[in-house]
Structure 1
Amino acid sequence: MTSSQAEAAVREAAMRWLDGRPKQEVDYAWVRQFEYHGVNIPLMDLQRGIRKPASMTAALAIRTTFTPPNQLPPYNDTIGDDGLQRYKYRGDDPQHPENVALRRAYEQRLPLIWFVGVAPGSYEPIYPVWIVGDDPSRLEFALALDEGQRFVSPGAAMDSDSRRYVERLTKQRLHQRVFRSKVLLAYDGRCAICKIRHVELLDAAHIIADGKPHGDAVVPNGLCLCKIHHAAFDNSILGIRPDRTLHVRQDILEEIDGWMLKGGIQGVHNTELAVVPSARAARPSKERLEERYAEFLAAG
């Protein structure tokens, strides 16, 4: 077995181990427990953003620290014209050992794990991630977050439809996943309207839609909603006033149907959101609620 094959085997084992994590987010204490053939190989380095175990020749993982709820994360503005995500070098020296370790992962086509901070000391693991381009002039690597993106040539000309498709994959694999984790953590894993706790039934809803002005993937532009209330919110069946009280559309209030409509939708009219984040900076933005509520009234 070549050294590249051996390192690929460690990565495969690490990713399968992460598949079995007890919850979506992980911390350093948990990821440092990974073992391969009886040898402990911590998957994260708290002192460095790039993790290369001493026994390996190429980087195993990268890390991005937590960004406060009302601030844009550092990766948010680093999608290239090709739709691929960028990851900045360590410092400004292309030959820094950590940059060399990432370059080796690129040259050997080895997958990486990306730990993205979603709360202080808590990370969402994104994997597998591949380096598909190296640009010393801009001090950055191009990343593929999806198997299909591995066939995109960084910086190559492409039509607008292809570019939008690649960018959509980037946002689905990174931005939206991290946004969901941050919003669910801020709301303690409960629907803001009905307080249901089952994570498989919860979504991170945008107040202002992604792609619009003020539609950033930040927690104050998010609401933790169950799938029923998310769909009702997105389809202007119910709106949320700037004071966080709920407004159910008049024709829905007059409709006669089963217990779900009566209790789950009609029954919340003129009530307040049942759950809001304890941290003031994570609470829904009043300005965004006002903008979205105006859209709701116009649609009704």
Structure 2
Amino acid sequence: MGAPDEISIRKQAIEWLKIRSDDGATPINREEILDFHYGGEPFRLQPTQTGIWKPRGFESALSIVTVYRGPGQKRPYEDAIGNDNLIRYAWRGDDPDHHDNRALRNAMNNQVPVIWFIGVGMGPATFQPICPVYLIAEEPELQRFVIAPVDDEAFLPRDPSKGTEIQETVRRYLMRETRIRLHQPVFRSTVLRAYETRCAVCNLGHRVLLDAAHIVPDADELGIASVVNGMSLCKIHHAAYDSWILGISPDHRIYIRADLLEEIDGPMLQHGLKELHGSKLMKLPTARTERPRADLLEIAYNKFLTAEPA
């Protein structure tokens, strides 16, 4: 068999993953990832033991993996955020010439798209595929690469003489794309999986009607958001929570703003909001380590108590 067609395989794998994950809306497990075929034959898209995968015959890495760990648990290799607010992916070990590190360096130098599998749960191992991503720079003194999730057509700072310096307009673009293409889908998948795809307030179980709501906004934090700062909420209760119509206390009780309790409007207000006042959340993660942090709930609840009606 001749050398594999790297470009064709990458393109087909990325398109296949987008379809299987509903264009990034739904995570997929390890067994489902094994369903990928190329040329009528099974073709592995991710490694089994390491975090970097270069199939036989490839010059550059095809995929990277960030394993799932619950809140407070340490990963074997921690992803980091640089001063430019872009994600860093660590070398394997500390040898720059390790074959996995060479595979990543080749992906950077060849400007080829890479698949990033980010773990969002275990039992079975479940991943949010983010693709394509590009390795846009290397920081050998820190033993890591700089990653940006962007389209093939996007402008990237390829000039090696610039090192890791990124023009301000490009930096802002990459920061925005990092949030939209990486942090948001990973946060959503992690939170919905923890809540078993149900609304914490009303137990609604239709994924298309559910959001991963932040307890405390993460506007100033580009790190991958933690499940303990999120709740699975249906779109009605998410909007009510964000607009201070609905509050959730640190002991997981639901409260409705006082003026709404006096209002007469219709069945949605009555059954969807007012009747929930004082009741407990209907759904919480089974794992206590994934439940919303009390201090974050308290911050949001205090804002609810002092919010003025719109």
Q: In the TM superposition, what are the counterparts of 1:175-186 in structure 2 within 5 Å? A: 175-186=183-194
Q: Give me the whole-angstrom Cα distance separating, in 1, the residues matched to 2:104 and 2:307.
A: 50
Displacement of 1:17:
1.6
Structure 1 residue aligned with 2:165: 156
Shift in alpha-carbon separation, 1:234–1:88, aligned structure 2, 3 A: same
Shift in alpha-carbon separation, 1:281–1:237, aligned structure 2, 3 A: same
- Cα-to-partner distance string for 1:63-84 (whole Å, 9 max, x where unaligned): 0111213558789862223332
Residue 55 (structure 2) pairs with residue 56 (structure 1): no
Structure 1 residue aligned with 2:180: 172
Which residue among 45, 48, 61 is the counterpart of 1:46? 48
Moved more, 183-192 or 253-262: 253-262
- Cα-to-partner distance string for 1:124-156 (whole Å, 9 max, x where unaligned): 111011111122222111112023765246632
Q: Which AA in structure 2 matches 1:257?
A: D
Structure 1 residue aligned with 2:137: 133
- Cα-to-partner distance string for 1:252-272 (whole Å, 9 max, x where unaligned): 112222221221111211111
Mind listing any 5+ residue stretches in structure 1 that lack a counterpart?
none
Q: Give me the whole-angstrom Cα distance separating, in 2, the residues matched to 1:35 and 1:43.
A: 10
Over the aligned positions, Cα root-mean-square deviation in angstroms equals 2.6
Q: Which AA in structure 1 matches 2:164?
A: G
**Contact residue 75 and residue 86 of structure 1 kept, 8 A:** no
Displacement of 1:296:
0.9
Count of aligned positions: 296
Shift in alpha-carbon separation, 1:258–1:71, aligned structure 2, 3 A: farther
- Cα-to-partner distance string for 1:141-178 (whole Å, 9 max, x where unaligned): 1112023765246632544x764553232122222221
**Contact residue 179 and residue 204 of structure 1 kept, 8 A:** yes
Displacement of 1:95:
0.9
Q: Give me the whole-angstrom Cα distance separating, in 1, the residues matched to 2:15 and 2:148.
A: 19
Q: In the TM superposition, what are the counterparts of 1:109-124 in structure 2 within 5 Å? A: 109-120=111-122, 121-124=125-128
Moved more, 139-148 or 193-202: 139-148
Which residue among 54, 57, 80 is the counterpart of 1:78? 80
Q: Give me the whole-angstrom Cα distance separating, in 2, the residues matched to 1:17 and 1:35.
A: 9
Structure 1 residue aligned with 2:146: 142
- Cα-to-partner distance string for 1:182-240 (whole Å, 9 max, x where unaligned): 11011000000111111111111111111469x98211211100111111101100101
Structure 2 residue aligned with 1:95: 97
Residue 304 (structure 2) pairs with residue 271 (structure 1): no
Displacement of 1:285:
1.4
Q: Which AA in structure 1 matches 2:215?
A: I
Q: TM-score, normalised by structure 2?
A: 0.87
Which residue among 289, 297, 301 is the counterpart of 1:293? 301
Q: Give me the whole-angstrom Cα distance separating, in 1, the residues matched to 2:214 and 2:72.
A: 14
The 4+ residue runs of structure 1 with deviation greater than 6 A are 72-77
Moved more, 36-45 or 140-149: 140-149
Mind listing any 5+ residue stretches in structure 2 that lack a counterpart?
none
Q: Which AA in structure 2 matches 1:138?
A: L
Which residue among 202, 215, 229 is the counterpart of 2:237? 229
Which residue among 228, 234, 249 is the counterpart of 1:241? 249
**Contact residue 70 and residue 220 of structure 1 kept, 8 A:** no
